[in-house]
Amino acid sequence: MDATTTGPRAPGAHPQARPRLSRSSRRSGVRHHVEDHAGHRASWLRAGVLGANDGLLSTASLLVGVASASAGRPVLMATGVASLVAGAGSMAIGEYSSVSSQRDAERADLATEAEELETMPRAELAELTTIYERRGLPRELAHEVAVALTEHDALTAHARDELGLDPDDLARPLEAATVSAVSFSLGALVPLLVVLAVGSTWRVPAVVVSALVGLGVLGAVGGRLGGAPPLRPALRVLLGGAAAMAIAYLVGQAFNVSVS
């Protein structure tokens, strides 16, 4: 019998919970598993969660503030739609500009590194060797690794180990802008749909509750996809959202006007 399958199974453990082994791995008794890291999702996840949170909270806070000034449904809908359009455009342009600047900086770093590799290859090889030494490799092995990677693809080796960049995966401004605009719009739709569905008596409480539920879900999902426990991110956005809507409500009450 295979050594990897012997022994009693832990109580409650599912027989399919173990990672699948290749045929050669089963013969050698070595376990292999596929690791799912969250780092590769960082850019679009940040843009998506930020956009949805911003769309939901800013639109809900605006509607709560206007509704507390006795605004009717037509005014609230016009306000909410204007907030959605303006906010989505602002998020897209801001994210595109920010990520474009990041990409320009990454390209400039790569160009500088390529020039240094061409003009001072020995110094760059020594620099790469020192990097591997600092990571724990013996001097001779660090030099061998640096030489091998330099011969294979010098720019990629220096970009990844010296600059912390992947030349094949630079910042994507258009992707970030699209994700931000779409996620903002989806978040902003939640309080707008509540305004359409709920009467004037319960409108403000319904908008607040729906916004808090949405913020809590977004916080938990963002934490889970980012590899963090979901409770703390959810509580963080819930407290901030509740404070923002409370301030907006008080501001609307301060005007004490009737908007028809």
pLDDT for 250: 85
In a domain? residue 160:
yes
In a domain? residue 13:
no
pTM over 0.75: no
pLDDT for 44: 63
In a domain? residue 6:
no
DSSP 38: S
Which tokens is 64 given?
């709560």
Count of domains for the chain: 1
In a domain? residue 208:
yes
Cα 122 from Cα 128, distance rounded (Å)? 10
pLDDT for 185: 92
Burial call 21-34: b when 16+ CB within 10 Å, e when fewer: beeeeeeeeeeeee
Cα 113 from Cα 163, distance rounded (Å)? 9
Burial class (CB in 10 A: 0-12, 13-18, 19+), 186: middle
- Whole-Å CA distances, 92 to 79, 88, 223, 257: 20, 6, 23, 34
In a domain? residue 209:
yes
Q: Please compute the mean of the pLDDT values over residues 249-260 and round it to a whole number.
A: 68
In a domain? residue 237:
yes
Q: Whose CA is closest to 65, among 205, 233, 245, 259? A: 245
pLDDT for 226: 65
In a domain? residue 191:
yes
Cα 147 from Cα 143, distance rounded (Å)? 6
pLDDT at residue 7 is higher than 60: no
User: Which of the two residues, 19 and 144, has the higher pLDDT score?
Assistant: 144
In a domain? residue 259:
no
Query: What confidence tens digit (pLDDT) does each residue in 136-191 have?
Result: 888 889 888 889 988 888 888 888 888 888 887 788 888 888 888 999 999 999 99
Q: Please compute the mean of the pLDDT values over residues 202-211 and round it to a whole number.
A: 88
Domain that includes residue 215, residue range: 43-252
The helix-helix angle for 173-197 and 42-67 (nearest 10°) equals 30
